[in-house]
Amino acid sequence: MGARSSQTVDPVVSRRYSSESEVVLVVRRRPQMVNGGGFVVSNSKQQIVFRVDGCGVLGTKGKLLLTNSDGDDLLLIRKMGGIVQALNMVHKKWKGFGYDKEGAEKLAFTLKDPKDSCLVQNGSIRISVHGKPNISSNRSNKYVEIKGSFTDRDCNIMDSDGRAIAQVRREKEIEEMVGNNKDLYNVIVKAKVDQSFILGLIAILDYIHGESTIC
């Protein structure tokens, strides 16, 4: 019997936000002019489970905040610049910080900004995941990849073994309801995958593509 999908990705932000079965989340973008932008995430019962505040709310470019339904901070995401002296240029990265039991920030993942085109390979974006090594792998450096088109709401988030751990889709019923409006779409998260981590990546994609979280 092969390795179970539950072992592909350990919780990155919190084990609390992993489910025993696949979860379909609905992302609804908030209008920038009305309440500062960002988006809210609901479950199948239409209950809000996450919120993402971007520049319009926080007042700081390159900064995103993921909270739960109670308003507790889960993930702070910052865009950071780093000088690569050998190439004499600046490469920008996104870093996601969770919180330990004392409330101190801890690095959870790093994503290289795909606007630095030389860092993009085969149209995919690679995210380095920090923390304990994966129990199902001998690799000490874990990563996931985003493949496809976020703009078209058609992309997959893959683990290091090439298996999908989440998908961004616009289901037929949503298309029939809102047409070409991209303010409403689904994020399908596989069983035992950290949903808060996945939504942190979605927040960065939203910002990179100049959507609801950017000023």
Q: What is the DSSP letter of 14?
A: -
pLDDT at 127: 85
pLDDT at 160: 83
Residue-wise DSSP of 88-144:
TEEEEEEEEEEE-TTS-EEEEEEEE-TTSGGG-BTTBEEEEE-SSPPTT-S-SSEEE
Rounded to an integer, the average pLDDT of 10-14 is 78
pLDDT in tens, 117-149: 433 444 678 888 886 444 344 444 578 899 998
- Calpha distance 215→207 (Å, rounded): 9
pLDDT at 174: 59
- The larger pLDDT score, comparing residue 82 to residue 162, is at 162
- Calpha distance 201→193 (Å, rounded): 13
Domains and CATH numbers, the chain: 17-208 (2.40.160.200)
User: In terms of Cα–Cα distance, which of 89, 70, 73, 72 is closest to 81?
Assistant: 89
pLDDT at 55: 86
Q: Measure the CA angle with vertex 208, ends 55 and 165; round to 5°.
A: 110
pLDDT at 78: 93
| pLDDT band for position 9 (cuts 50, 70, 90) | low
| pLDDT band for position 170 (cuts 50, 70, 90) | confident
Q: Which of 19-23, 53-57, 120-124, 175-179 has the highest mean pLDDT?
A: 19-23
- Calpha distance 200→17 (Å, rounded): 12
Rounded to an integer, the average pLDDT of 90-103 is 84
pLDDT at 20: 93
Instruction: For residue 118, give every residue at least 6 positions away whose Cβ sits within 8 Å of its Cβ, in sequence order, or none.
Output: none
